[in-house]
Structure 1
Amino acid sequence: MTTETILILGGSFGGVSAAHYALRHIIPQLPKQDGKTYNVTLVNPSTDFYWRIAGPRVAASKTLMPYDKVFLPIEPHFAYAKDQFNFVQGTATSVDPVAQTVTVQTPSGERTVSYAALVIATGVSTPSPLFTQTTDRAALEAEFESFHKTLANAKSIVIGGAGPVGVETAGELGEFLNGKPGFFSSGPKKPKAKVTLISAEGKMLPILRESISKKAEKMLKALGVNVVYNTKVITATPSGEGGKTAVQLSNGETLDADIYIDATGARPNTSFLPSDWLDSRQKVAVNPKTLRVEAPGATRVYVVGDVGSHTRGGAIDLPNAIGTAMTNLRTDLIAHITQKAPGPDRHYEANLAESQIVPIGTSKGVGAFNGNALPSVMVWGMKGRDYMLGMLAQATLNGDNYKKEGKWKPQPLASSG
């Protein structure tokens, strides 16, 4: 008896979703072959799924957002398919397209995993280690512990980048350190820390309209956050004086910060892949309709999530991407098994509607969904209350969106990450 593998690299939103889809809608539909079975193998650096959406609140306080709420074990959610599912804790270090193998560095050493089909869902890494996971739970918790010790005595905080992660983090830290303003107050009476948010553009939150960005600025100001526009962070250098960082700005100013948080963007986790599989941004170059990798030597290789060239980032269009990539994987695998012409492709359509939900502190926020601006109370109800942990965390890990095939309606997930 031989077993062939649908190998999925990455255990965040895209990888976990792809694994559930493969177990429910691919393996059961593959033609039966004497002496051959198929399984799904998921590779991830941690045994826990990090709910990175909540990273900004964890950064403010583990009391407000305990670790046990944001680190969720992966394997128990695949118990329904235990005979067809394997989990490997490790990090992919190289791919051999000819042999169709991936080398994985695990805690116990290096191993090689063969694949009949490969799904790349390794996502992106943020410059600050607080908002994505490339290590195990213990290492990321240690990062938070170190950050919280510094935060306790911080008087000046500079955040570079005014996308959703930067704005949410500024709001969480501003409220945690400076408190909520009074009902008729435009700002905190006795702020403990000066929080400065640096925006490279003329407005924050690029996906959202300017009026929503202005509303966010007003909310941030009430929490003691000052926003600097049309300015870039040039360098952030430890000054050696009391642990401060000298943050040099493109406007010629230098800010001395007790804490500097780089939220300027994300870098795709693709260093292990063949260079000719990547585009100029180092994302995986995919056919934007089929989500296949079409580089030479890439046999039955697909991409889901932020690591691919097809998406502007975020989870808002992930269900359609999962359905597209995995349906085409199944079509190609069946054609390979039967040696017959493949069936028709399914095509991906990016969701480019104005959709982003951004909490600002624990009780307010701004956002839009499918082009409709949302009131602050709705942003709080949808996300700001607990960063969607109660609404979506278990459903995501259980793969609830993928219990049935079809086109899924977008869920309000577009936010940090």
Structure 2
Amino acid sequence: MKHIVIVGGSYGGVSTSHRLLKQAGKSGSIKITLVSPNTHFYWNMAAPRGVIPGQFDDDTLFRPIANGFKHYPAGSFEFIVGSADSLDAEAKKLLISTPSGKQAIGYDFLILATGSHTKGGAPFKELGSTEETKRVLHDFQARVKKARTVVVAGAGVTGCEVAGELACEYGMAKKVTLIASGSTVLPDPVTPAFIPEFVDKELRKLNIDIKLETKITGSAETADGRTEVTLSTGDKLVTDLYIPTFGLVYNTSYLPAKFVNPNGSAMVDDYLKIKGAGEVWAIGDMCDLDGSQFLSMERHSIYVTKNIGLIMKGKPPLPYKRITSRIMGLQIGKKEAVGHYGSWRLPRFMMMYARKQLFLNRFAGTIDGSEF
């Protein structure tokens, strides 16, 4: 029996655990140990709407991970609440911290899906434990409710969605300002021009003040608990709530420096294996291929599952085929959505349907594996 250790209790870790267990069937050829600091899966694709009070309750956004694996044969799956501390790739051991202390776990195969987090501590991704993520989310919701002015810094997908959700929900009751460092919102060179043009137009329809070619050079709390934001133009804005959405921090601090790029992402080869680490794969946000997207993670999960199956059958693994045509979609409040596949604009009705529930309709199936 091969022992496969998977680290990360979000999309990548949970989906890959299910895929591998389903691939093994009842053969008893593998045991999966899933390690995660969070007891519950946080559906953060809904977070831009979830930070607004009254949109979703905790039971909608958080579901217990362990419950979804109870139907597999006894001994084939173990869930450990803990976080990765260090990796000894030569000895094939992962050191983790658990509520009961340090623990070393040996493995035959190791899959790392620890993802990333946003700068500034906003609850757009997991923040360690489930309890901590819930606490920060509830505090954030209370601040959103109280605020009359909001500055959203960063006009990527998350920033545009957050600004749109705020303006759609509160209208003129809150003044929303979106700070964009580029000459357009969504300043990605592979995004077709019609996408940022459409998003800019729709956001302005919601009375959002968009400041293009502007950066945040500093922020400080004022005596009355507000935030003074300094702009690259030299102007200053005093706001009730400052929401930074720019920049990702890769959750790779437990990896030896030789396995990590200068930007913090894990260095992987053409098989998604960490270079020089042996039987260790990195998938999703944390690896330096394909960018940070749900669809990238999904492709990585499917690929690694297939390749481990090949290896266990004594067959040579297949190289990973990188994404050549990017697909992207985003919601603008509750009344508009837009997306593209390569240079093609996806039909509005398709995007509205796909984004209506922010894929929450797939949550139960992701937890129990029926989605895969």
Which of the five TM-score ranges fits, normalised by the shorter chain?
A: over 0.9
Q: Is the Cα contact below 8 Å between 2:52 and 2:145 reproduced in 1?
A: no
The answer to whether the aligner puts 1:303 opposite 2:253 as a matched pair is no
- Unaligned 5+ segments in structure 2 are none
Per the alignment, residue 211 of structure 1 pairs with 194
Per the alignment, residue 399 of structure 1 pairs with 369
Superposed CA offset, 1:222-273 (max 9, x none): 222111111221222222x321111112222221121111110211100011
Per the alignment, residue 162 of structure 1 pairs with 155
Return the match for 1:97 from 65, 89, 98. 89
Q: Is 110-119 or 372-381 further displaced after alignment? A: 372-381
Return the match for 1:73 from 48, 53, 64. 64
SS of match in other structure, 1:237: strand
Superposed CA offset, 1:104-129 (max 9, x none): 11223222211111101000111233
Give the letter aligned to residue 154 of structure 1. Answer: A
Which aligned pairs between 1:127-276 and structure 2 lie closer than 5 A? 127=119, 128-178=121-171, 191-205=172-186, 206=188, 207-239=190-222, 241-276=223-258
Q: How far, CA to CA, are the matches of 1:131 and 1:307 in structure 2?
A: 16
**TM-score (ref. length: structure 1):** 0.83
SS of match in other structure, 2:237: strand
Q: How far, CA to CA, are the matches of 2:43 and 2:371 in structure 1?
A: 17
SS of match in other structure, 2:325: coil
Q: How far, CA to CA, are the matches of 1:375 and 1:324 in structure 2?
A: 29
Q: Is the Cα contact below 8 Å between 2:48 and 2:165 reproduced in 1?
A: yes
Q: Is 4-13 or 129-138 further displaced after alignment? A: 129-138
**TM-score (ref. length: structure 2):** 0.92
> How far is the alpha carbon of 1:28 from its aligned partner?
6.0
> How far is the alpha carbon of 1:89 from its aligned partner?
0.9
Q: Is 142-151 or 161-170 further displaced after alignment? A: 142-151
Give the letter aligned to residue 301 of structure 2. Answer: I
Q: Is the Cα contact below 8 Å between 1:292 and 1:325 reproduced in 2?
A: no
> How far is the alpha carbon of 1:351 from its aligned partner?
2.2
- Unaligned 5+ segments in structure 1 are 31-36, 179-190, 336-342, 403-417
SS of match in other structure, 1:22: helix
Which aligned pairs between 1:360-399 and structure 2 lie closer than 5 A? 360-383=332-355, 385-390=356-361, 392-399=362-369
Superposed CA offset, 1:15-68 (max 9, x none): 1121112212257678xxxxxx6410001111111100000111112x222221
Per the alignment, residue 410 of structure 1 pairs with none
Which aligned pairs between 1:307-386 and structure 2 lie closer than 5 A? 307-333=286-312, 343-383=315-355, 385-386=356-357
Per the alignment, residue 33 of structure 1 pairs with none
Q: Is the Cα contact below 8 Å between 1:156 and 1:258 reproduced in 2?
A: yes
CA RMSD of aligned residues (A): 2.0
Per the alignment, residue 184 of structure 1 pairs with none
SS of match in other structure, 1:170: helix
Q: How far, CA to CA, are the matches of 2:44 and 2:13 in structure 1?
A: 14
Superposed CA offset, 1:285-306 (max 9, x none): 000x2111122xx121111111
Q: How far, CA to CA, are the matches of 2:130 and 2:324 in structure 1?
A: 33
Cα pair distance change 1:333/1:377, threshold 3 Å: closer
Return the match for 2:80 from 85, 88, 104. 88
> How far is the alpha carbon of 1:370 from its aligned partner?
4.9
Per the alignment, residue 99 of structure 2 pairs with 107
Cα pair distance change 1:122/1:363, threshold 3 Å: same
SS of match in other structure, 1:152: helix
Q: How far, CA to CA, are the matches of 1:161 and 1:365 in structure 2?
A: 19
Identity %: 28
Per the alignment, residue 5 of structure 2 pairs with 7
Q: Is the Cα contact below 8 Å between 1:354 and 1:372 reproduced in 2?
A: no
Per the alignment, residue 22 of structure 2 pairs with 24
Cα pair distance change 1:29/1:348, threshold 3 Å: farther
Q: Is the Cα contact below 8 Å between 2:26 and 2:73 reproduced in 1?
A: no
Q: In the comparison of the two structures, how many residue pairs are matched?
A: 368
Superposed CA offset, 1:358-400 (max 9, x none): 11111212222354313444322111x221111x222323334
The structure that has the greater radius of gyration is: 1
SS of match in other structure, 1:135: coil
Cα pair distance change 1:299/1:28, threshold 3 Å: farther
Q: How far, CA to CA, are the matches of 1:331 and 1:243 in structure 2?
A: 57
